[in-house]
Amino acid sequence: MTRVLRVDLTKMRSLTEEMDPLTCERYIGGLGIGARILYDEVAPGISWDDTANHLIFSAGPMNGTIISGSGSFTIVTKGCLTGGATSSQANGYFGAFLRLSGFDAAVLTGAAEDWTYLYIHDGKAELRDARRLVGKDTRVTETLIKEELGGRERDLSVFCIGPAGENLAKFASVVGDGGHVAAHNGVGAVMGSKKLKAVVAARGTGVIEVKEPERLKALNQKMLAISKAETKEYEQGTSFLFAVHIHHGVIPVRNLTTNEFPDYRKLTGEYYRSHFDLTPHPCWRCPLKHCHEIKVTEGPYAGTVADEPEYESFASWGPLIGQEDPGAAIMLSDTVDRLGLDTNEAGWLMAMVMECYEKGILTDSDTDGLKMTWGNVEAAKAMLHKIAGREGLGDILAEGVMRASQKIGKGASELGVYVKKGQAPRSHDHRARWLEILDTATSDCGTIAVGPQRHQEPLSPRCVVETLLKKRVRTFVDSLVVCMFPSATMLNNRTDYLVEMLNLIKGWHYTENDALTTGLRIDNLLRAFNIRHGLTPDLEAPSSRYGSAQVDGPVKAGSVLQHWDSMLAEYYKGMGWDITTGKPLPETLKSLGLDDVAGDLWPESAPGGPSAGKGRDR
């Protein structure tokens, strides 16, 4: 039985409800359950900061079991950069602890009168005073809450916002478990709008029912063997990608003004893991050598202790802003995490500010004297604090790349890297990998939907569209809510063992085909939500810089923009969506069992007109 904790922050009350089994089977958990609740309960016209917006912390059926990396969870809400649906996943322990404390999801509505945090334990929810935590960074907040509630270090999972979320910076994140981040589309700002500083789950003493535990254990070992083979390179951290990407033109350098970055080697794990001090901090049941705390031991930032950044953070705070010192990149990554900002959006923003400054679009009088030249690490750090506090230029920059570039004017929006829905991409130069531009622009969950995929022709419009249409297992995996590394689902699209694991846990008879149908059902539900909340095809396009041609580097990729309209139309057609509006066609929705949604999007096609919302088959 799926148990949902409902918390009304306005009334400071909570209740528990059980979700009907049919809904659970059709939407699984995590992203799927969150998407269904969001669609049913957040009506068009409700803005991201409306008290009626929902903030959903959602786990899935695997969380808290012996499956490796099953401590993850996802936050589903109406996000503030795109104004559309968002799903942002974080690894760590929270997903396991939430379930062991008696709940599969926590749905937060309303807004507290003053700063509050939610403590979930023993099948109960407590709303506690968080006023003393205001202004504290995410690391300090986590420590103070653990001190207040007592117990051992790993008895609590704390996910919180920093100053950026409190001040409603539109790319504020939610950070917890010592450096895991739900980053995308301003989930931290939504949390801040509810005056909710943190959500805490106790380790809990509950038991997760598994129908066939011994077979699950054996299958987990098999899955780990596959993932270890696939993720061998990750033994050097995800920043091993610099050594690969340098040959493919996908390292983002100086706001995409160049693709030359010869001094990348110190940013790879091969260098810094052998020079700096590392202490492992793995997630729930994960044996992979991936997450570490890192202490910088050389250079101007020696002594900095931080969560080891992922590739995207190293890219943001290295080549993207024009500097190559790994200690500086680690310090800036840590600053972003402590303030509670998304490292991707923040990196693109800082790079745009630096290009604007170098070109005279921004001057010292705009930056309060900060010299925003390429590679100025201390100026970048100071500007991050201004953004989190919405001080001076930081107030404009806190709106994210697209809106900030429009407000700065003087041609800045020609320099901004974003999709026209309102968010920046991940910190890669997708111009040499068009699949990820199309994926980012058309994603219905506020970030990339499919992610990097092996395919042979990165600059072929036909191949790009075909690959994106074929590789749609991510939504299913994000509804199970397991980490992509131990589940080997980042590059590998097989779902056979995950489906078998689901059946061993639930006693279901799911097939791989069911998994794909479920993924498509959820994708179409998210798309329907976004259409009803204002999504139009003109917003599904890269900005001129994001879609521009590369000027140098190993690939010198041409501009995707010349193919964009036809690629988008082909993609819509392949998805069974109307090619002029991007709306899922009635027959597409009905084939997925979404008749109610078809009635909402195409009222003329429904016998009884648009459906009435809650109470229908979900």
**Hey, which residues between 57 and 116 contact ligand SF4 (CB under 6 A)?**
69, 91
CA distance 614 to 618: 9
Site string for ligand SF4, 419-448 (x = CB under 6 A): ------------------------------
Q: Considering beta carbons, is residue 482 or 589 the nearer one to ligand SF4? A: 482
CB atoms within 10 A of CB 400: 27
Among 94, 485, 510, 571, binds ligand SF4 (CB under 6 A): 485
- CB of residue 453 to ligand SF4, shortest distance in Å: 19
Does the protein bind ligand SF4 through residue 239 (CB under 6 A)?
no
Among 106, 450, 483, 522, binds ligand SF4 (CB under 6 A): 483
Q: Considering beta carbons, is residue 74 or 367 the nearer one to ligand SF4? A: 74
| Contact window for ligand SF4 (CB under 6 A) among 352-360, 432-440, 480-488, 586-594 | 480-488
Site string for ligand SF4, 510-549 (x = CB under 6 A): ----------------------------------------
- CB of residue 520 to ligand SF4, shortest distance in Å: 26
Q: Considering beta carbons, is residue 69 or 322 the nearer one to ligand SF4? A: 69
Q: Considering beta carbons, is residue 232 or 410 the nearer one to ligand SF4? A: 232
Distances in Å between the Cα of 417 and the Cα atoms of 32, 204, 486 are 30, 43, 32
Q: Considering beta carbons, is residue 136 or 203 the nearer one to ligand SF4? A: 203
Q: Considering beta carbons, is residue 39 or 73 the nearer one to ligand SF4? A: 73
How crowded is the C-beta side of 463, counted as CA atoms within 13 Å?
A: 10
- CB of residue 228 to ligand SF4, shortest distance in Å: 11
Does the protein bind ligand SF4 through residue 291 (CB under 6 A)?
yes
Per-residue tokens: 52:
């009626």
- CB of residue 427 to ligand SF4, shortest distance in Å: 18
Site string for ligand SF4, 140-169 (x = CB under 6 A): ------------------------------
Per-residue tokens: 317:
């705070």
* Burial readout 559-584 (b: 16 or more C-beta within 10 A, e: otherwise): ebbebbeebbbbbbeebbbbeeebbb
Name 556's Cβ contacts closer than 8 Å, sequence gap at least 6.
Answer: 249, 259, 549, 550
- CB of residue 106 to ligand SF4, shortest distance in Å: 21
The CA angle 425-431-437, to the nearest 5 degrees, is 45
- CB of residue 238 to ligand SF4, shortest distance in Å: 9
Among 290, 338, 506, 618, binds ligand SF4 (CB under 6 A): 290
The CA angle 59-62-66, to the nearest 5 degrees, is 125
Q: Considering beta carbons, is residue 93 or 115 the nearer one to ligand SF4? A: 93
* Burial readout 338-350 (b: 16 or more C-beta within 10 A, e: otherwise): bbbbbbbbbbbbb
Distances in Å between the Cα of 310 and the Cα atoms of 118, 181, 236, 333, 334 are 29, 11, 11, 9, 11
**Hey, which residues between 269 and 288 contact ligand SF4 (CB under 6 A)?**
282-283, 286, 288
DSSP string, 466-516: HHHHH---HHHHHHHT--TTTTT-SS----HHHHHHHHHHH-----HHHHH
Q: Considering beta carbons, is residue 69 or 553 the nearer one to ligand SF4? A: 69
- Whether the Cβ atoms of residue 482 and residue 219 lie closer than 8 Å to each other: no
Q: Considering beta carbons, is residue 383 or 490 the nearer one to ligand SF4? A: 490
- CB of residue 87 to ligand SF4, shortest distance in Å: 17
- CB of residue 309 to ligand SF4, shortest distance in Å: 13
- CB of residue 334 to ligand SF4, shortest distance in Å: 17
Cα four-point dihedral sign 420, 422, 425, 429: positive
- CB of residue 490 to ligand SF4, shortest distance in Å: 10
The 3-state DSSP class for residue 136 equals coil
- CB of residue 281 to ligand SF4, shortest distance in Å: 8
CB atoms within 10 A of CB 484: 20
Q: Considering beta carbons, is residue 213 or 282 the nearer one to ligand SF4? A: 282
Per-residue tokens: 588:
């597409």
CA distance 48 to 25: 29
Does the protein bind ligand SF4 through residue 125 (CB under 6 A)?
no
| Contact window for ligand SF4 (CB under 6 A) among 34-42, 254-262, 263-271, 482-490 | 482-490
Per-residue tokens: 604:
């003329």
Distances in Å between the Cα of 246 and the Cα atoms of 78, 264, 386, 553 are 36, 8, 33, 9
φ and ψ at residue 279, rounded to 5 degrees? -125, 120
- CB of residue 391 to ligand SF4, shortest distance in Å: 33
The number of residues that bind ligand SF4 (CB under 6 A) is: 11
- Whether the Cβ atoms of residue 268 and residue 236 lie closer than 8 Å to each other: yes
CA distance 404 to 524: 31
- CB of residue 315 to ligand SF4, shortest distance in Å: 18
Which residues of this protein are in contact with ligand SF4, per CB under 6 A? 69, 91, 282-283, 286, 288, 290-291, 483, 485-486
